[in-house]
Structure 1
Amino acid sequence: MYCLSVLRRSCLHTSARTFKKIPQNLKGKSASDQRWIVRQLNDPFVKAAHGQNYRCRSAFKLLEIDDKYKILKPGCSVIDCGAAPGAWSQVAVQRVNSAGTNAEFPIGFVVGVDLLRIAPLDGAHFLSFCDVTDQTTHTQLQELLPKAQADVVLSDMAPNASGFRELDHERLVTMCLSMVDLAERVLKPDGSLICKYWDGGLAHQVQSRLAHAFRDVRIVKPKASRKESAELYFLARFFKKNKAV
């Protein structure tokens, strides 16, 4: 398994003589597109994702959180919400042993959901073109999950940006509250939820709901989350009990 501490050293300790790569074929690109391309070319986590065969750099956010808090364990059942392109599912498959690659550990279960198509992944079951905030999808998940329950709910999803910060924040808060609804329906006692949100005035609504349902709630920002980004993660652990539905 890839050691995240090694990645941090290679990513974060750069020489003063290191220069940014500047792509040569930017003609016709907008200024924002040019900035994105330059940032991607010089992002150490993008390079590491290619090197480690992760589908995108976001894998390292979950790796860092799990290295510290040990949420994903062999034999666990995991729901990955907004899973496309599947990087968090890749991490979950490795850590809960859902592909059965390690005969010494129990075999877990990973199911991912997204409105988009998710390319197949050994060890994961994907519900493509499904809305994870819809009650029908919740029922599908319970039918798939062992004993209709999960140990962990993951959400790295976010709405498409509208260009209006407050509107986008409100829409993501609504998504987060839906994830709490899902957790209250499917999580086992002492289960965990990791949920992305954007910092803003409505975040307290999500935190309040989580504090009611979990014994430990904290805010984390992995190093792979860009400093200029408003994204943060709620990490809620030790789910108190399942509510009747």
Structure 2
Amino acid sequence: MQKMSSIPNVIFILCDIANNIELLNSTFHKKKFDVVLSDMAPKACGNKQVDHANIMNLCEMSLEIAVKFIKPNGIFITKILQGEYEKEFYQLVKHHFNSVKYFKPKASRKDSSEMYLISLGFKENLEYI
């Protein structure tokens, strides 16, 4: 985990999300956010399938958090890796947002499967599926 410099009006949470979802629930119980941004990535093991499954698990956790804490019409951005579970996750995100697009930063290596999903227009009152 890497620390980040503070930014005005930004809440930065540095923790193992898998072990702290309840902490987030209790800390931000009724609070709603304009944007939920996840740049999480697990430590890579070198096996593309395992690395992909691990990051997609983090993506699902970040989406679950976004659905709980994002304002109507809010924005969700998450890092993903292209692979076996990517399309399924895309459809899950599309269920909750009006617009979902892929974005590959210019700084990302061309051979890297890393990219981001930019999701706009959170649909309020839908249960997380």
Q: Which of structures 1 and 2 has the bigger CA Rg?
A: 1
* 2:79 maps to which of 186, 196, 199: 196
The residue that corresponds to 1:110 in the other structure is 10
Q: Which has the higher contact order (CA 8 A, sep 6+)?
A: 2
Measured against aligned partners, the alpha-carbon deviations of 1:41-99 in whole angstroms (never above 9, x if no partner) come to: xxxxxxxxxxxxxxxxxxxxxxxxxxxxxxxxxxxxxxxxx7x332xx65xx3xxxx2x
- 8 Å contact kept, 1:176–1:196: yes
Q: CA deviation at 1:217?
A: 0.3
The residue that corresponds to 1:162 in the other structure is 45
- 8 Å contact kept, 2:52–2:82: yes
Higher strand share: 2
Q: Find out whether 1:219 has 2:102 as its counterpart.
A: yes
TM-score, normalising length: structure 2: 0.87
CA distance change for structure 1 residues 218 and 192 in 2, over 3 Å: closer, same or farther? same
CA distance change for structure 1 residues 141 and 229 in 2, over 3 Å: closer, same or farther? farther
TM-score, normalising length: structure 1: 0.48
The residue that corresponds to 1:233 in the other structure is 116
Q: Superposition RMSD on alpha carbons, in Å?
A: 2.1
- Three-state SS of the structure 2 residue aligned to 1:113 is coil
Number of aligned residue pairs: 127
Structure 2 residue ranges without an equivalent (≥5): none
CA distance change for structure 1 residues 234 and 141 in 2, over 3 Å: closer, same or farther? farther
- Which whole-Å CA distance do the structure 2 matches of 1:244 and 1:159 have between them? 27
- 8 Å contact kept, 1:162–1:168: yes
Amino acid in the other structure paired with 1:139: N
- 8 Å contact kept, 1:186–1:242: no
